[in-house]
Structures are given as structure tokens and as C-alpha cells.
Structure 1
Amino acid sequence: MVKPIQPTLDPEKELLFYRRLLQHLPNGITYRDPELGLELHKREGGSSVSLQELPAHSADKPFLSLGQEYQFPVPFSQVERWLTPLFDAISHHITFIDKNGLVTLCNHRAADDFGFHREDVIGKPIERLLNLPPHKIKALETLRTGREMYDEEVLDQNYGICNNRIIRDANGDIFRVMSVFHYLNTERESEKLALAGRIAAGIAHEIRNPLTTVRGYLQFLQDDVSSSIRELFEQLLIPELDRANGIITKFLSITKEHDVKTEFFPINVFLREYIQQLLVSEAFLHSITMEYTLSPDLDGCFVQMDRNELVQVFLNLFQNAVDAKGDRPLHIVISSRLVDNQVRITFEDNGAGIPQAIIDYVFDPFFSTKDAGTGLGLSVTKKIIQNHSGSMKVRSSDAGTIFSIYLPLHRRMPE
């Protein structure tokens, strides 16, 4: 029978006993004790034991890994392939990076919100996905420091709540960093539009009343003034008042929900036989070449929308491309594709592109880089898509700009 250790045992002898025990264990070991601020490592098959201090603000829970927990019967890359369809059903961003900071897993929500196809980011540095410098990326911070994160608020351009966990190999080394990110930019944008709506509702009445009064008196005085003054009224003053009233009306339309009259129609037929015919004359006038790439997977598939409002979306995007024309002859590609039971329509041009410094603001009301622009075209466009339960994203570079529209898919006409 083994006798219990006596309280009077020599502390140095006891410490030597534990060190020798660890050296003879066959498995790799990692033990982290945040209360003492220490972390112990032993590689599998090795005999050396290292003890180091933990970084400040480490996780407050002890952690123990005996190595064999991560002895998978198949390569871990296969495990990630199994996990991907499960993670695609989760509305948060989920990514795995390896010890070199390369993305090994990316769920659909993360790729979609950042405007990428998943296959374009797997095996690439995570900086490509997040469009941030390395020192601002929390997953790389965890990889660098070994500190896991619990519900940490991120206040950069990708606003949200971050949770990072470490997966270690049999030797206790960091093998993967798993990041779960609650992306809150959409909620922040909704709050911004709600605030704009309250402001608009408060001032619209006060502005429209004097506009209506001034316009009425101008019309009343037209018959009592000279022909030159009458021409000034008709060609400048009254149209400008009408334009101001139109801006208020358009602004109100993007700050509140409104009823839409929807119908079901096949999306590929709409793009091929309606939008293509509608834009052909405008493209000819502006010397623009147009290309349509429509997926056969969507033949016979329907969307439910207000057809006239969807037409307005394409007219707005077309005009935006014309205004952003660069030195190259303008080429526009409209394509459709089936993506996760959604219709994705992309409108791509080879124009001058949108500077990265302002791309986050292009959908904001009244934001415009054009001298004569109101800054409402893209805001209205995105609001139309959102009113039909869809979403809209943009990415841009020196090679041009791509607007992506996602709409709910219906595989048959409802009876």
C-alpha cells in the first residue's frame, strides 16, 4: 500500500519527483494555470519539460491537454471538410487558421459577408478575407500570444464580438486557431438607417411646407412678371424646388418599410429578355460592351419581386458604372448563379473602382463623390433589395467594381 505524502516532505524532493514523473510520461502535455500565471509544455516522446509565464489577461480557466485528444484517425483537413456543412448552417462567422495564419476552414456566412467565394480564401492568409493589417486581426493575435478570447468586443471596420479557441497538437503546440465572430455590422447599419428615418420624419414636414408655399407663389406670380423672369421661374426656380422635394421623397423611401407589389417571374428570362433589351440602347450610346453569363442551374427558377423596382436596381447600377468609367473602354458583365439555395446576381464593371477608404460608405444616404450627385442612388438600390428579403454587397479594386445581389429562390411557381 502506497503511503500518503506527509506534510513534512522536503519541497525540493517533492518537486524533483513530479518533474521526473512528467519526463517519463509518453504523451505530450500542456497545462495552463491562469491563477499562478504559468504554463507547462512537454512534447510527445520527449523528456524535457518547459515552464513559462502566461501573457497578461489570459483565460481565467485552467486548461489541460494530454496530447492524445488530438490523435485523429483521419487527417484533420478531412475533419474540417466534415465540419464545414455544419458550420454553414450557423449565422456567425467561423474560421480556422493554421500555425502560419492560413485559412483552413471558412463557413459560408464569413465568406459571403466579406464578398468572397470560399474557394478563394482557403489556403490564403486571413488578411485577404478580413481586409485588415495583421496587427488588427484577433485570430493572429491569439496565434502569436497563445491567449484565447472570450466575448471580446472588436471595434474596427468589422464590428462584432469575437471568441477564439486554440487547438493544440500532441506536442502541445498550436495547431489551429478557431474564431467565432458575431458580425454586427448589419445591425449597426440598421440602427443607422433607423436614426436617419427619425431625422427625416422630423424635418420632412417642416421643409416641405415652405417649399410648397414658395412654389405656389412662384406659379401665381408667373403671369405678372416679364417674359425673362417667367422663363427664370419655369426653367430654374420651380424645377429646383421640385428637385428638392424629390430628394426628400427619395430619402424617406430608404428609411422606412413600405408595401411592395410582388410577382413571381423566372430570373434568367428576366435578365436575358428584359434587362438585356432595356440596356442595349444605353450601352450603344455610351460605347459600352455588355456580357451576360447566366447559370443554367437557374433556368426555370423564380424570384418574387416587384419587377419595376428590380428594373430600377439595374438602371441605378448601370448609371453608377457609367459615372465611374475609367480610361479603359467600359465593359459590364451581368451574371447569375445558384449559391446555397439563393439567386446571386453580380453586376461587374471594369471602371476606375471605388477607393478602399470610402467603400464602406457607398450605401450611406447622401454620400457621393460626384459634384452633381445626391448620394441616394445606391442607398435606394440596396433598400429595394432589402425590402424583398435580399441582401447586397460590394467589393472593388483597380480592376473595377462588383455589386452582388442575393435574392430568395423559388424552384417552382406557387399554385
Structure 2
Amino acid sequence: MSKKKVPKVQMTMDGLNRLLRQYQGQGVLMIDQEGEILQANTFFLDASGYSADELLGSPISQVIRITDSLQHIYARYFEANMSMEQWEEQPKAFIQARDGRILSHYYSMIEFMQGNRTVYIFLLEDQTEPLQLNLLQQFSDAFLKDVNLGVILIDLNYALIDISDMACRVLGLERSSILNQSMEKVFEAVPIQHQLVQKTILDGMVVRNHAVSWMNDQERYELLLDSNVLKDNQGQIVGAYLIFKDVTNLRSLEEMVQRSDRLAMIGQIAAGTAHEIRNPLTSIKGFLQVLRRTFEVRGMNKEQGYTEVMLTEINRINELVSEFLLLSKPKHVIYEQTDVSLVLREILPIINNEAILYKVHLQYEAAYHLPLVIADQELLKQVFLNLCKNGIEAMVDGGILTITEKLDLEERKVSIEIHDTGPGIPVFVIDKIFDPFFTTKDSGTGLGLSVCQRIIHDMGGSIRVASKGFGTTFTVSIPYS
């Protein structure tokens, strides 16, 4: 037996205004059959934080999330001629306030005709404290703002419903401009395969402790992700969430420990074999020097040239063995109170001469009255010379090498920045430059930066590198007492 349709009431503008005044203590929206907002009363605007211009002409889904489709709601209310008392549970809407808050509210609807079109009044039921967050929602709001986790909530339409402050900071997003936007639009600048959130999340694909690298303004973050779907009381999927934590520092510590272990192993090998290598080399070098002198006396210039080449190569082997020995804990190190500025000024002439050969301009920015650090002066010179030489050689067409002294009062460290204007270090290489034997030079041994890092670490300091595609900066930091 079919139900009798309720006749639609014609309403003039005067009648509409009287109706709106009647419900002025409630949130009221007028919408058309397609869900486009035609009018909103002052109460709703004040409670939600939107202006009339922002709402008029917008779809109702922009500000109100309801637990059913509009077409289904229209049918249940009007086509089936159901009254509110016949609902098993009074329907509830979730209002997306302009500042990102989610406000829950019971609602009802009125249908009428305005001219030849059907229009609906959407009423938010009056309460003692209208549109107030309940305790759980207040906790959720505080959680998203304060927790040191990245949190992303999406609905069934793959739209961003909410995001935590930490997630915005790490991902480089502005919260107000991305809420209610499709996740495809949020990450439109990122290739699909590298997007942090995949659409398969809504299919129930659960992720636990998934490691991901993310680049934001040339700064790399190491993240661990968890994700899952959200279900209602009937077990239906209503959305999904993604939570991640920043483990960049932990990963850096793990890499540092691994690198330190490799250096220690190489150092042990070097310490045990260096003398065994040097003893025969000393004998060979001595006899070659005798031969060179003999060839010189007898005028055998061709043979003399051969001996000079061999002696040069033996000296290279000796230098390599010396670098090996420095990978083990340096012997006869003298740690004493050291003026870093004085150390730099003593080697500036050497650095400047090297810079002139490569048509590089040297700039030295001093910081006066730096506190003393505990260090070995000679080893510090070796570190600064090595880093400056690397920077100069990176600028094949000339450039500027800048040495800057800085004092970090918060961390209680003296820092020396060595910046070049060369081509920079590629992202896929920068993590490997401190590894033993890794080098981009044709004649390099790949031990220079490893030795520098070992020297500074033994002094309780650190070496950091930053490269943004144009130029590279090495920062040597040593604590002061």
C-alpha cells in the first residue's frame, strides 16, 4: 500500500523571513534540492565562524557532514511521509567550523516550495549551550593541536577532515587552506606513488610501522606510519586515519653508530697492518733514492725519471697509510684549552693560497671573544684545512668560500661554518659522504671526511652538512665549558 505524499507548501519571501525569525535561537540553513546553500541565519554564522559570502552558493557538504546522503534523507523525511518520532534515533549532523573544530548537533528539516523549486530549511535543534563540544571532542581538539604526532583524518570521499599541527609542520602544509579538500589536491605536487596517503587506505589496508622518507623545503624527515579505517556502530567504514611520528633523530643516531662501528673496524685493521706496510716501503724508498742518485751521476735521465715516478707513488702510499692510522684513535693527542679563532687565523694564509689557485675569493667572518674549547690544535687545523680544500675544489669555475665563526649560547657550542658556492651535493649522495672510501673525486681516497668526523667526535663535537642544490655548508660544532 503506497503512502500518501505530503503536499509542498508555497512560501513567499515574507513568510520565509518570519520563519527564520521564529527559529532565530537555532542554527538555520536554507538549501536547494542539490544541497547548495541559499541562506544562513546569524546564529549559524556566529556559531560556525563563517561569513555569509563564504557559505552562499557553496555545497552543504562543505560545512555539514551528515550520517546519510541528502537524497536518502529527503526520501525518509518527505517521500515516505515519516515524522521525527518514527526515526529510530534522531539524526545528527557534524558541523565543520571555520577554525577546524567539529561540532555535533541534532537536526530536523522543513520542505516547502519557493516559486517552482523545492527548498529545504535545515534546523539545528536548540540546546542550552548550542553547538558546544562535548568532552570527547574537546579532547580530540586538544590532541590534534598539542600531541607530537602527525594525525590525518579523511572521510569516505577521500577528503581531508582534520590534521594535526605537527603534521602540517612536517609536511609543509597550511591547515586552513587544505581542510575539506580532496587528498589528491592536498598532495597534487607529489607523484602518486610518493604521496603519504594512498586511496587504498579506505579499502581497509592496515599499515603498521611503515618507514617513509619525506622532503620538506630541502629538509628530510624519517617517518614511521600507522593507518587504519574508522567504522560506525554498524561496522560500516566511515573514514580512515593516518598517524606518523618523526624518527629522524633516531635514524641519524643509528647511522652514526653504524658509521662509528665501521670506522672502528677499519681503524683496528689499519693499526695492525700500517707498520707492516711501512717497513718494506721504507726499504724500497731508500734503494730507489740510491738508484736515482746513481742515474743522475751517470746522466741516465730516462731511468732517473722512472725512479722519481716510483718515489712519488710510494709517498702517496705513505699518505694513505697515515690516513688509515688516523681512523683508529689518534695517538699522542694533546687536549687543551684552545682558541678556535687563533687556530683559524694561523691557517688562513694556507687556505687563501689554495683559493687563489682556483680563482676563489675567501671571506672570513670572525666572532670576537669566543670561549675556549678543549681540543687538539693540530688536529683542528687538519679538519679545517680538509673542509676548506674540499669546498675550494668543488668550485671549478671560481666562487666564494666563506668561513664564519658563531657562538651558540643555548647549546653551549662554538661553531665554524664553511660555505662554498659550488654546485652542491646531490640528495642521494649526501648521506654517504662520511662513509669510509666513498668519494666523488677521481683521485680521492674517500677517507678525508671520515677522518675529520672521527677527530671532531673524539672532541665531543659534531660535523653537519647542508646542501640545497646550490652550495654546501659544513658546520663544525665543539662544546665549550
Bin for the TM-score computed over the shorter chain: 0.5 to 0.7
2:395: which partner in 1?
Answer: 325
Cα separation, 1, equivalents of 2:263 and 2:326:
11
2:320: which partner in 1?
Answer: 247
Q: Name the SS of the counterpart of 1:320 in structure 2.
A: helix
CA contact (8 A) 2:206 2:228 kept: no
CA contact (8 A) 1:390 1:408 kept: yes
Cα separation, 2, equivalents of 1:147 and 1:265:
56
Deviation larger for 361-370 or 68-77? 68-77
Q: How does 1:264-279 map to 2 (within 5 A)?
A: 264-267=337-340, 269-270=341-342, 273-274=345-346, 276=348, 279=351
Cα separation, 2, equivalents of 1:310 and 1:235:
33
Counterpart of 2:278 (choices 208, 223, 240) is 208
Cα separation, 1, equivalents of 2:399 and 2:434:
26
Cα separation, 1, equivalents of 2:378 and 2:143:
50
Cα separation, 1, equivalents of 2:459 and 2:419:
22
Offset, 1:44: 4.3
2:383: which partner in 1?
Answer: 313
Q: 1:251 to 1:103 in 2, by over 3 A?
A: farther
Q: 1:172 to 1:369 in 2, by over 3 A?
A: closer
Per-residue CA deviation, residues 34-58 of structure 1 (Å, 9 max, x unaligned), is: xxxxxxxx994479xxxxxxxxxxx
Cα separation, 1, equivalents of 2:311 and 2:395:
32
CA contact (8 A) 1:168 1:176 kept: no
CA contact (8 A) 2:145 2:165 kept: no
2:138: which partner in 1?
Answer: 71
Cα separation, 2, equivalents of 1:359 and 1:376:
15
Q: How does 1:224-373 map to 2 (within 5 A)?
A: 224-225=294-295, 226-227=298-299, 228=301, 231-232=304-305, 235-256=308-329, 258-267=331-340, 269-270=341-342, 273-274=345-346, 276=348, 279-293=351-365, 299-327=369-397, 329-338=399-408, 340-373=411-444
Q: How does 1:14-413 map to 2 (within 5 A)?
A: 44-45=104-105, 68-69=135-136, 71-72=138-139, 79=146, 96=150, 104-105=165-166, 124=172, 147=206, 149-150=208-209, 164=225, 174=241, 177-180=244-247, 182-183=250-251, 184-201=254-271, 203-222=273-292, 224-225=294-295, 226-227=298-299, 228=301, 231-232=304-305, 235-256=308-329, 258-267=331-340, 269-270=341-342, 273-274=345-346, 276=348, 279-293=351-365, 299-327=369-397, 329-338=399-408, 340-410=411-481
Q: Name the SS of the counterpart of 1:357 in structure 2.
A: helix
CA contact (8 A) 1:294 1:337 kept: no
TM-score by length of 2: 0.52
Taking every aligned residue pair, what percent have the same amino acid on both sides? 28
CA contact (8 A) 1:265 1:302 kept: yes
Match of 1:371, as an amino acid?
A: D
Per-residue CA deviation, residues 13-37 of structure 1 (Å, 9 max, x unaligned), is: xxxxxxx999679999xxxxxxxxx
Cα separation, 2, equivalents of 1:199 and 1:21:
81
Q: 1:219 to 1:276 in 2, by over 3 A?
A: closer
CA contact (8 A) 1:346 1:403 kept: yes
Q: Name the SS of the counterpart of 1:370 in structure 2.
A: coil
Larger Rg: 2
Per-residue CA deviation, residues 147-170 of structure 1 (Å, 9 max, x unaligned), is: 4635x678999xx9975567999x
Cα separation, 2, equivalents of 1:98 and 1:153:
17
Offset, 1:135: 5.1
Cα separation, 2, equivalents of 1:258 and 1:192:
19
Offset, 1:348: 1.0
Q: 1:190 to 1:141 in 2, by over 3 A?
A: farther
Offset, 1:314: 1.6
Match of 1:253, as an amino acid?
A: L
Q: Name the SS of the counterpart of 1:406 in structure 2.
A: strand
Q: 1:203 to 1:266 in 2, by over 3 A?
A: closer
Q: Name the SS of the counterpart of 1:247 in structure 2.
A: helix
Deviation larger for 141-150 or 274-283? 141-150
Offset, 1:350: 0.6
Q: 1:291 to 1:198 in 2, by over 3 A?
A: same
Deviation larger for 339-348 or 284-293? 284-293
Q: 1:393 to 1:26 in 2, by over 3 A?
A: same
Cα separation, 2, equivalents of 1:345 and 1:77:
39
Match of 2:311, as an amino acid?
A: I
Q: Name the SS of the counterpart of 1:366 in structure 2.
A: coil
Cα separation, 2, equivalents of 1:180 and 1:370:
32
CA contact (8 A) 1:337 1:343 kept: yes
CA contact (8 A) 2:379 2:455 kept: yes
Cα separation, 1, equivalents of 2:200 and 2:244:
7
CA contact (8 A) 2:360 2:400 kept: yes
Match of 1:288, as an amino acid?
A: V
CA contact (8 A) 1:368 1:375 kept: yes
